[in-house]
Amino acid sequence: MKKNLIVAAFAVTAAVSMSNVFAAAGTVNFTGEILENACNVDVASQNQTVDLGRYNKTEFNNLAGSKTAAKDFNIVLKNCPASVSAAKVRFDGTPEVTDSTLLAIDSTTAGAATGVAIHLMSADKGDLPLHGQNNYTYMLSSTQDNTLKFYAQYQSTNATVTAGPANAVASFSVVYN
């Protein structure tokens, strides 16, 4: 009887340990740094409004992907420490349903425009996808204010654009190199 119990216990132990067998394929090493000091975002840059203008819905030519003129805006960084020489900026907000790289129009506003979103760009007018970083690096100075230039424009996401308020909100983060 004891022999049967020992064999049964061994079989259960072997079955349990076999179900947890796996092979490691590699490792991932995470690195980074938390800075003691970074640049200060200028007060005027913290909560700004960018007027993208007023456009007739026919200017989108019944074609998804049509864009309005780009409007520039800036984020100013001050008092950067000498140890911080470059930065990239990330914008976050509600993504547009048909193209998650674009910032969605606030649909909770009564009569909000549809078929259009906001396209963000870096200083070189390269795409700045929402919830990501592009490859544009802003060089920083510790001896003067740093003006980081960006652009925004409306972009149609559908062949049919309806008229109405076309507002959106994005937050930004500065990632230092």
The domains of the chain are located at 38-176
Chain segment 46-87, per-residue pLDDT in tens = 999 999 999 999 999 889 999 999 999 999 999 999 999 999
Residues of 112-129 as b/e, b for ≥16 C-beta within 10 angstroms?
A: bbbbbbbbbbbbeeeebb
Percent of the chain with pLDDT over 90: 73
Domain 38-176 matching CATH 2.60.40.1090: the answer reads yes
Output the pTM of the full model.
Answer: 0.80
How far is residue 6's CA from residue 109's CA, in Å, rounded to a whole number?
A: 71
SS3 call for 15: helix
Tens-place pLDDT, residues 129-138: 998 767 799 9
Q: What pLDDT shows up at residue 21?
A: 67
Q: What is the pLDDT of residues 86-123, one digit of tens each?
A: 999 999 999 999 999 999 999 999 999 999 999 999 99
